[in-house]
Amino acid sequence: MPLAENDTVSTLGDEGQRVWLYPLRVMGRFVRARTAVSIVLVAALLAAPWIEVLGHPAMYFDIEHRRFYFWGLTLFATDASYLLFLFGAFIFGVFFFTAVFGRVWCGWLCPQTVFLESVIRPIEELIEGPPSRRKRLDAEPWSARKLFRKGLKLTAFLVVAGAISTTFTAYFLGAHGVIEAQADPGSHPIGFAAFVALTGVLMFDFAWFREQTCIVACPYGRFQSVLMDGDSLTIGYDVGRGEPRGKPKDGLGGDCVDCRKCVQVCPTGIDIRKGIQMECVNCAACIDACDGIMDKIGRPRGLIRYASLNSLAGSPLRLVRPRVIAYGLALVAVTVGFGAAVTLREPIEVQVNRMVNAPYVTLPDGRIQNMLTLRVSNKTALVRHFVVQTLEPSDGEVTSPVRDLAVGAGQVASFPLLLIRPDPGAARSRFSLQVSDDHGYRHRLETVFLAHGAAAPADEGTRP
Ligand code: SF4
Ligand code: SF4
């Protein structure tokens, strides 16, 4: 029996209209595992800006102070190179996992799938009932009952969309900032506008656009075929075993009983028996649906299963291939590079800069004073108290009007420093400082001491 042709997108009607899907919810080992993964992901995504790890929000892009907090790791603007490693790890991660596992991201990890399948559809089913009842409700004329159910559903969606947008905005404004923005939009106009816009986009997605995001809007769905080959793992139908399909009473030989359960559960409305299709998000619902049927008719599970195109055609499964090794090595290299860079990075960074337009002053007792600023980045999780001492020259003195040079965990602070020494008799001379803290940190800084006749170059700072 020939397979049907893949002639059109399943959600596109003959007249070009949208075909609304009513996917049946199925339970099975993959859906259960995916639900568990979704619970962890939703909890982590929604909790990250509200909980603290080592004294800071678990996830917070502090744009104002140019800092990024990521589950206990604090990255500063000067750590931008680490972001390159992270970006590299993301890119090679996508390459590697797509080459091996196909669209595992789409089915298991993508927020669109996670929220739509694990939050939105269950809410819809709770309020409007199973697909057959939902279909009837949509077809019937408007009534108080229909209005109530639709209103209740949209209100529930709005609560979910609002919670996600609030959390997303909190990633950039912080927990206090987002509460402030919602109480008084004028205090954070851009943040509030982002919150409203995102809530609107999510409502559009949850209430209407749904699987169209994966089918027509998502770029990853488009280019993933470039990253996959015939040996990449995907979800496929075993034509050799399933065909010719038919009801058992037909007496035909294939295992597929043509119950269409795999089509009914598909969130993108496709028939996986027609072959691998771009609309398939690898959610594995059709595997669970078909396994349930195979259990009932006493046939082995796996008529629809995770397999490669080549293995479905009879070749052995070959997950390790040259491209997988190349992507894997690149992924390991950037991940190790990131780990090493973070582990080996200086936990404390100090720098002194000369105050603008203040090369030196002559004190009443004839000594010369230079005014500088000490800038300290504390990338550790502890409050540090710093002390600055003179190493050279022996007649040099360093002091600060600030008594306690304390810098909080993950903070950057600047303190005024006064370098004083008797007139050295030269316009410029060397001045060495030692910066230390109460946790054993010690660092030598070299700067230039300016005296009579000297003018500070605009860019003068210090050499460590
Ligand atoms: S669920 Fe399995 S048996 Fe039923 S139509 Fe799909 S492939 Fe055939
Ligand atoms: S074909 Fe199967 S795996 Fe693909 S989207 Fe549909 S139900 Fe999910």
Residue 356 pLDDT > 80, yes or no?
Answer: no
Q: How confident is the model at residue 457 (pLDDT cuts 50, 70, 90)?
A: low
The 8-class DSSP code of residue 61 comes to: E
- What would the mean pLDDT of 321-328 be, rounded to a whole number? 94
- What's the sign of the alpha-carbon dihedral 210, 24, 264, 305? positive
What is residue 415's three-state secondary structure?
strand
Residue 461 pLDDT > 70, yes or no?
Answer: no
From ligand 2's centre to the CA of 287, what distance in Å?
8
Q: Are residues 95 and 215 in the same domain?
A: yes
Alpha-carbon distances, residue 458 vs 303, 327, 420 (angstroms) = 74, 47, 21
- Of the spans 57-71, 191-205, 357-371, which averages the highest pLDDT? 191-205
Buried b (16+ CB within 10 A) or exposed e, 414-445: ebebebbbeebeeeebebbbebbbeeebebeb
244: which 2 tokens? 């010719």
State percent of the chain over pLDDT 90: 70
The per-residue pLDDT for range 416-442, each reduced to its tens digit, is 999 999 988 888 999 999 999 999 999
Alpha-carbon distances, residue 403 vs 369, 386, 400 (angstroms) = 19, 10, 7
Q: Which residue has the higher pLDDT, 347 or 45?
A: 45
**Domain termination residue (choose one: 345, 360, 379):** 345
Lowest mean pLDDT among 111-115, 223-227, 239-243: 223-227
Asked if residue 15 belongs to a domain, the reply is yes
Q: Are residues 352 and 305 in the same domain?
A: no
pLDDT of residue 249: 63
Q: Which residue has the higher pLDDT, 454 or 95?
A: 95
Q: Are residues 302 and 441 in the same domain?
A: no
Among protein residues, the one whose CA lies closest to atom 7 of ligand 2: 266
Q: How confident is the model at residue 346 (pLDDT cuts 50, 70, 90)?
A: confident
The per-residue pLDDT for range 135-169, each reduced to its tens digit, is 999 999 999 999 999 999 999 999 999 999 999 99
Lowest mean pLDDT among 229-233, 235-239, 248-252, 421-425: 248-252
Contact 140, 129 (CB under 8 A): no
220-87-335 Cα angle (round to 5): 115
Q: Are residues 363 and 324 in the same domain?
A: no
Please name which of 266, 267, 268, 242 lies closest in space to residue 256, comparing C-alpha atoms: 242
pLDDT of residue 342: 81
Lowest mean pLDDT among 97-111, 211-225, 396-410, 447-461: 447-461
pLDDT of residue 464: 47
What is residue 333's three-state secondary structure?
helix
pLDDT of residue 72: 82
Q: Are residues 39 and 68 in the same domain?
A: yes
Asked if residue 129 belongs to a domain, the reply is no
Residue 304: which domain range?
1-109+211-345
pLDDT of residue 463: 45
Q: Are residues 13 and 104 in the same domain?
A: yes
**Domain termination residue (choose one: 308, 329, 345):** 345
Q: Are residues 274 and 296 in the same domain?
A: yes
Query: For residue 416, which phi and psi values (nearest 5 degrees)?
Result: -75, 140
Q: Are residues 277 and 373 in the same domain?
A: no
Whole-angstrom distance, CA of residue 18 vs CA of residue 11: 6
Among protein residues, the one whose CA lies closest to atom 4 of ligand 1: 259
pLDDT of residue 66: 80
- What would the mean pLDDT of 280-287 be, rounded to a whole number? 95
- What would the mean pLDDT of 11-18 be, rounded to a whole number? 84
Among protein residues, the one whose CA lies closest to atom 6 of ligand 1: 262
Given ligand 2 and candidates 283, 288, 306, which is best to mutate, with the most ligand atoms within 8 Å of its CB?
283
The 8-class DSSP code of residue 5 comes to: P
Asked if residue 153 belongs to a domain, the reply is no
Asked if residue 317 belongs to a domain, the reply is yes
Asked if residue 184 belongs to a domain, the reply is no
Whole-angstrom distance, CA of residue 286 vs CA of residue 249: 23
- Of the spans 14-18, 62-66, 150-154, 338-342, which averages the highest pLDDT? 150-154
How many CB atoms are closer than 10 A to CB 325? 12
Q: Are residues 240 and 316 in the same domain?
A: yes
From ligand 2's centre to the CA of 152, what distance in Å?
29
Q: Are residues 94 and 219 in the same domain?
A: yes
The number of the ligand nearest the C-alpha atom of 102 reads 2
pLDDT of residue 251: 60
Mean pLDDT, all residues of the chain: 90
State the closest ligand 1 atom to the C-alpha of 289, by its place in the atom list counted from 1: 1
Asked if residue 248 belongs to a domain, the reply is yes
463 forms beta bridges with: 446
Residue 49 pLDDT > 90, yes or no?
Answer: yes
Asked if residue 158 belongs to a domain, the reply is no
Q: Are residues 245 and 334 in the same domain?
A: yes
Q: How crowded is the C-beta side of 62, counted as CA atoms within 13 Å?
A: 19
Residue 100 pLDDT > 50, yes or no?
Answer: yes
Q: How confident is the model at residue 459 (pLDDT cuts 50, 70, 90)?
A: very low
**Domain termination residue (choose one: 313, 345, 377):** 345
Lowest mean pLDDT among 249-263, 288-302, 307-321: 249-263
Around ligand 1, the residues with Cβ closer than 6 Å are 237, 242, 256-262, 273, 289-290, 293, 303-304
State the closest ligand 2 atom to the C-alpha of 279, by its place in the atom list counted from 1: 5
Which residues, 6 or more positions from 188, have their beta carbon under 8 angstroms from its beta carbon? Answer: 173, 177, 178, 180, 181
Contact 236, 302 (CB under 8 A): no
Whole-angstrom distance, CA of residue 89 vs CA of residue 367: 56
- Of the spans 61-65, 78-82, 416-420, which averages the highest pLDDT? 416-420
Q: How confident is the model at residue 3 (pLDDT cuts 50, 70, 90)?
A: very low
Would the pTM of this model clear 0.85, i.e. be above it? no
Q: Which residue has the higher pLDDT, 284 or 458?
A: 284
| Residue whose structure tokens are 């927990």 | 175
84-85-91 Cα angle (round to 5): 90
- What's the sign of the alpha-carbon dihedral 433, 435, 436, 441? negative
State percent of the chain over pLDDT 70: 95
Whole-angstrom distance, CA of residue 182 vs CA of residue 351: 39
From ligand 2's centre to the CA of 285, what distance in Å?
6
Asked if residue 186 belongs to a domain, the reply is no
Q: How confident is the model at residue 456 (pLDDT cuts 50, 70, 90)?
A: low
Q: Are residues 242 and 98 in the same domain?
A: yes
- What would the mean pLDDT of 70-91 be, rounded to a whole number? 84
Among protein residues, the one whose CA lies closest to atom 3 of ligand 1: 256
| Residue whose structure tokens are 């170059």 | 457
The 8-class DSSP code of residue 107 comes to: I
The number of the ligand nearest the C-alpha atom of 242 reads 1
- What would the mean pLDDT of 374-384 be, rounded to a whole number? 88
What CATH code is carried by the domain that includes residue 403?
Answer: 2.60.40.10
Q: Which residue has the higher pLDDT, 35 or 455?
A: 35
Number of separate domains in the chain: 2
Residue 246 pLDDT > 90, yes or no?
Answer: no
